[in-house]
Structure 1
Amino acid sequence: MEGNGLEKASYIFGTIHITCDATIDDGVKKALDQTSQVVLEIDMDDPEMMTKMMGGMYMKDGKKISDLVTEDELTTIDAMLTKEAGMPLKMVETMKPFFIISMLYPKMLDCPMQSFEQELIKIAQEQNEEILGLETIEDQLQVFEDIPYEDQVADLLRTAKDNLAYDKVTFAKMLELYKNEDINGMLDMMDDENNVSVAKHQDKLLHNRNKNWISKIGEYAKDQPTFFGVGAGHLAGDSGVINLLKEAGYKVTAVKN
C-alpha cells in the first residue's frame, strides 16, 4: 500500500481466524520487519478484551434459545452440544447462537486449532511494537446484535441436525481456498444460503466494516509504516478493502514471495 501522501509503504495481510497451520512465511516476516506497528481488526492485546467480550456474548432482554426454536429442535441442539462440547444446552441457553457455534470451531477442524492473529501478536511483541485495532471489541460485538437471533439460531440448528458434518466440509473448503490465496473464492463462499447469518448479512459482517476501516487504515499508515492483518474475506470484491483503498487514491499491489 503506497501513494496518496504515504512516506513509506504499509502492508495488508489477509488472515484466516481459525486454521491448522498459522506459520508466518518469510515474505510476511519481511513485511513485519519493514513496519513499526501492527493493526488487527481489534486491539487483541487489550487487557480488558475478554471481559468486554464476555459481556457481549449474551442475548438481550432475557432471551433464551428455547424462545427461538421448537421443542424438537431444542432437543436436537441439546444432544449435539452434549456430544460435541460436553455440556448441555442449559449451560449456554442465554448466549447468542453465533457464540455457541464458535465454541464448536475446534471440533470442525481435523487438527489442533491455530491463529494467525496470535502469531502476529507474538512477533509484534518480540519487536516491541504497538498492537492496535481498526475497530473496538464493542463494534465487533454489535454486529452479532444487529444480525437477528433468528438467523443465528437457524445456523446453530443446521449445525446440530447433521452433527457438524456440513460445517466440517465448509471449513475444509475455506482452508483450501485460503492456502491457494483465492480471496475471490473465499468471498463467493459467503453467498452460501445454508449459512444464513453470513449470506443474508454481508453488509453488517463485511461491507459496512470495510468502509469504516479505510480512513483508519489511512491514518495509521500516514503516522508510520504499518502492518495490517484482517480477515481475508474482507479483501476481495467491489466493497473489499483492496478496491476501496484504490478508490481512495492508494496504490495497492500484490507482494510475491
Structure 2
Amino acid sequence: MKLWRKMLLSLTVSASLLTAASVPAAMAAPQPATVKVNMQKVNYGTDAPVISEKTTLVPLRSTLKALDAELTGTTPDSITVVVNGKSITLQSKLTEINGVAYVPVRIIGDAAGYSVRWDAQTRTVQLVSTSPGLGGTEAPVAEASQTGRGFMWEVQSNGNTVYLVGSMHLADKSFYPLRKEYEEAFAKADHLGVEVDISKAAGEEQQKLIMQLGMYQDGSTLKDHISSETYTKLGDILEKNKMKRDALDPFKPWVAEVMISTLKPMEAGYEASAGIDLHFIQKAMERKIPVIELESYESQLNMFNNFSKQLQEKNLNTALDNYDEMGTAMDQMAEMWKTGNDQALLEFTNTMSDDAEYNQAMLTDRNIDMANKIDGYLKNGNKEEYFIVVGAGHYLGDQGIVQLLKNKGYDVVRK
C-alpha cells in the first residue's frame, strides 16, 4: 500500500512538478538529449544531439532525413532545404562538432512543419507534425482498436458542459490511441483546463523556482537533515544509477523523493512526454484554444516544500524502501487506467489517508480548490465547453472532485 502511495505522484501531481527531478538528475549525471519525431526516436549513432546555451543542436543531415527533408545548399549564415517539394532558406549558422554539421533543432523543425517541444524530465525534444502534408512523416494513424477506457465524466449546467478527464502524468505509447469519446469531446471544447501548463515547465523562471525552494540556502546539506540510515540508503540507490553518493546533497528530502520515485518508471519507458495531460496540451496548441491552469507550478512546489521535516523523510524512506518494485507498480497503475477500473483507482487514492498531513495537502485541499473553479466554469453562463484534465487520483472518494461537485447539486455522469 505504501508503494502505491508513492506511485500516486503520477496520478495526483502535475508532470511539471515531476520535472523537478530533472534538476538534481542533470546535476548528478548529465545525459545527452534525445530527439523524437512523432514519438519515434531518431538514431544518430555516435553523433548525439548536444545542448549549448539552452539550445539543442542536432546533426543537420541525419535530422533532415528523419523529417523527410532534403539539404540543397549551405552558406556561412544560411541553409537551403526542400520540404514537401518546396525550397526554403533558413537563416542559421552551422556549428561543426567532430567534423559533423550541427544546427538548432527548432529552426529546421519549424521549417518542416513540426511543433517543437522540450521535455525537461526526459531531456527529449519532441517534433510532432502539425499539418497533413508537411514534414513528409505525419503523426501515426490511430489504430482501429482503442487501448484504454481511462476515466471521464460529464457535467452540464446553465448551458455549459464540463468534461472531467483523469490523467496519468507519466505514460507510454501503449496508452494511445485514446478511445473516440475523448477526442470527440475535446474537439468540441472551447477551453482546456489542466493542473499546470507543463509545456512551460522547462522555462527559466520555473527552474529558478525549484532551485530556490528545493535547495538549502543556509549552507547545510541533505546529510544534515535526515538520519544516517536514510542517507546511506539514498547513497546506495544513487550508486546503482551511476551517480555519486552525495549527488543530492544540495537538495531537500522532497526533491530527492520525487527524483527516486521517477527513476524506475522512466527506466520502464513511462515518460511525461507521453502523459495524457501533455497529449491534450499539444492538441490545444494546435487548435489554438486557451489552456487554463487550475493550479500553478509554484503552488505545487510549495506544497511539497511545506511538508514537515518528519513527513519529508518518511516519504523519502518509502520511495527508497520500495525502489526496486516501482516499475511493476507503475505497470499495475497503467493497467488500472486502461481498464478504467474505478474500484482500483479508489483503492489507490485511499492509500493517501494513512497520513493526515499528506492526505490534506495532496488531495483534500487541492480537490476543494479545483472543484470550486470547475463550479465557476459551470455557472458563468457563457454556454461553453470545458475539457478538464487533472490527475486521476483527484476524482474519487468522499473528498474527490466528483463527490464535491455532487455535493454542490450537479449530476456527474461517468462516460
Same fold (TM over 0.5): yes
- Which residue of the partner structure matches residue 30 of structure 1? 184
- Mapping of residues 57-206 of structure 1, within 5 Å: 57-59=214-216, 64-84=221-241, 86-104=242-260, 105-108=262-265, 110-113=268-271, 114-161=274-321, 164-192=323-351, 201-206=358-363
Work out the number of aligned pairs and report it: 250
Deviations 1:119-146 (A, max 9, x none): 1111101111111211122211121023
* Structure with bigger RCO (C-alpha 8 Å, 6+ apart): 1
- Indicate the SS of the match to 1:2: strand
For residue 99 of structure 1, what is the amino acid of its counterpart?
V
Instruction: Note the C-alpha offset of 1:253.
Output: 0.6
Tell me the distance in 1 between the aligned counterparts of 2:349 and 2:218: 30
Deviations 1:41-83 (A, max 9, x none): 1233445444434433335655532123333432221121122
In structure 1, the gaps of 5 or more residues are none
In structure 2, the gaps of 5 or more residues are 1-153
For residue 32 of structure 1, what is the amino acid of its counterpart?
F
Deviations 1:196-217 (A, max 9, x none): 7x77511110011111112211
- Indicate the SS of the match to 1:9: strand
Q: Quick check: which one's strand share is greater?
A: 2
Tell me the distance in 2 between the aligned counterparts of 1:251 and 1:191: 23
Contact 1:183 1:233 in 2 (8 A): no
Contact 1:10 1:226 in 2 (8 A): yes
Using structure 2 for the length normalisation, give the TM-score: 0.54
Q: Quick check: which one's helix share is greater?
A: 1
- Which residue of the partner structure matches residue 244 of structure 1? 404
Identity of aligned residues (%): 22
For residue 233 of structure 2, what is the amino acid of its counterpart?
T
For residue 111 of structure 1, what is the amino acid of its counterpart?
G
Instruction: Note the C-alpha offset of 1:87.
Output: 2.1
Using structure 1 for the length normalisation, give the TM-score: 0.84
Larger radius of gyration: 2
Contact 1:53 1:137 in 2 (8 A): no
Contact 1:44 1:132 in 2 (8 A): no
